[in-house]
Amino acid sequence: MTTPIDPQKLDRLAEVAVRVGLNLQPGQELILTAPVTALPLVRGIAEHAYRAGAALVTPILSDDQVTLARYRHGTETAFDSAAGWLFDGMAEAYDRGAARLAVSGGDPMLLSGEDPDKVARANKAMALAYTPARERITRFATNWTIVAWPDLAWARLVSPDLDDEAAQHRLAEAIFAASRVDHEDPVAAWAAHNAELRRRARWLDDHAFAALHFTGPGTDLTVGLAEGHHWLAGATVAQNGITCNPNIPTEEVFTTPHRLRVEGTVRATKPLSHQGTLIENIAVRFEGGRITEAHATRGEAVLRKVLDTDEGARRLGEVALVPHASPISDSGLLFYNTLFDENAASHIALGQCYATCFHGGDTMPADEVARRGGNASAIHIDWMIGSGQIDIDGITQEGSRVPVMRQGAWA
């Protein structure tokens, strides 16, 4: 093995990020956030962005050691601070037409040994400060996407049985396969994949279900759907008219639940890696759309702090359907990364809804989104509830049932 990361596939990933994920337009600016370890991918993205006619690429880099320094040496007040000025500037840039690209990576367990109270406070400060930028993203004010970098610390967690080089190679190849850059023509492969996802979304839109009913081990959950909801999948048209793929990879079709109409119990089928903390075996109860009981065998203190972020944090903002036989699930890997694990299983998200998941949602005011059942919150956190043991029925407006998934497969 000459290098753990195939340079040709890495270049294809950079190209897919720009051409498929963003569909970057000539003259557009690009704001790019990434861990400092991902510089090889950042440089490739910048090259393809400028080839596509970008006016300016502005990278904003983070570093795990700088993050740890805050927890090891920061004063008490350090954990209630966040760079609101930065996120205000990002929101202004999106309003002026800039595209947004995030590179996911870093150590998923970075903060697992730190004080849960400090982690929760820092996360809450970040969530609140990020609100202006996140609000533009959730309503697709501009074209945006997320791709992944095979960080070595992440690779060690995914493959603890392998040496560093083999572990990073394994993770890189899994990312490339899930992102469809192992095809000779990945852009064409994405076009075909998006067409299939759109077919699934149209089928769900045609049925206009009132609710979805999930059943399986530890799960008996009815998720009411928002009034006038619309299913999205794969490529999405942003408000600026540009068609983008928000997630690379993606296997989901998703929509907006009704924040007041979720009832029952549900158990997570995969761990949730949240802001450097691993939360395992989440089990919650919903009553009247709100989580009234919440437990986890690991990271429960962080989970409870997340739920107390604001009123909307205990309610759902998204429900997404993913077949158990997705390429990511078939890899047999637990990624400890929401971008990948959420595309291995059906999932729900606490917090902010996507206004675009309403018919006419692009121009719908916030009070109308709320009237139809959409949730508002400073957070949006996906966690996985699907598996090969989960059945899903659609409940029609008349109360009859239509099989949607059986044992994790499309029915």
Which residue is associated with the tokens 């850059």? 181
- CATH 3.40.1830.10 placement within the chain: 7-178
Check if the beta carbon of residue 326 is closer than 8 Å to that of residue 251. yes
Cβ burial of 303 (10 Å; 0-12, 13-18, 19+) is buried
Strand-pair category, 144-148 with 99-104: parallel
Report residue 374 as tokens. Answer: 């959409």
Check if the beta carbon of residue 96 is closer than 8 Å to that of residue 56. no
According to the model, what pLDDT value does residue 1 have?
57
Dump pLDDT digits (tens) for 325-380: 877 888 888 898 888 888 889 999 999 999 889 988 778 888 999 999 999 998 99
Instruction: Indicate the CATH number of 7-178 among 3.40.50.300, 3.40.50.920, 3.40.50.970, 3.40.1830.10.
Output: 3.40.1830.10
Position 340, amino acid: F
Q: How confident is the model at residue 22 (pLDDT cuts 50, 70, 90)?
A: very high
What does the pLDDT average to over 3-29? Answer: 97
Reading phi first (left if > 0) and then psi (alpha if -120 to 50, else beta), residue 191 is in alpha
According to the model, what pLDDT value does residue 361 have?
78
CB atoms within 10 A of CB 112: 16
Report residue 48 as tokens. Answer: 């393809």
Check if the beta carbon of residue 234 is closer than 8 Å to that of residue 243. no
According to the model, what pLDDT value does residue 322 have?
94
Report residue 139 as tokens. Answer: 């309503």
Rounded Cα gap, residues 235 and 198, in angstroms: 8
Check if the beta carbon of residue 335 is closer than 8 Å to that of residue 341. yes
Rounded Cα gap, residues 255 and 201, in angstroms: 9
Query: Closest Cα to residue 108, out of 268, 277, 303?
Result: 277
Reading phi first (left if > 0) and then psi (alpha if -120 to 50, else beta), residue 78 is in alpha
CB atoms within 10 A of CB 46: 18
pLDDT at 275 over 80: no
For the chain, what is the total number of helices (H) and then of strands (E)?
13, 21
According to the model, what pLDDT value does residue 15 have?
97
pLDDT at 386 over 80: yes
What does the pLDDT average to over 134-161? Answer: 94
80 three-state secondary structure: helix
Dump pLDDT digits (tens) for 28-61: 999 999 999 999 999 999 999 999 999 999 999 9
Compute and round to an integer the Cα radius of gyration of the chain.
20
Query: Closest Cα to residue 323, out of 253, 233, 267, 272?
Result: 253
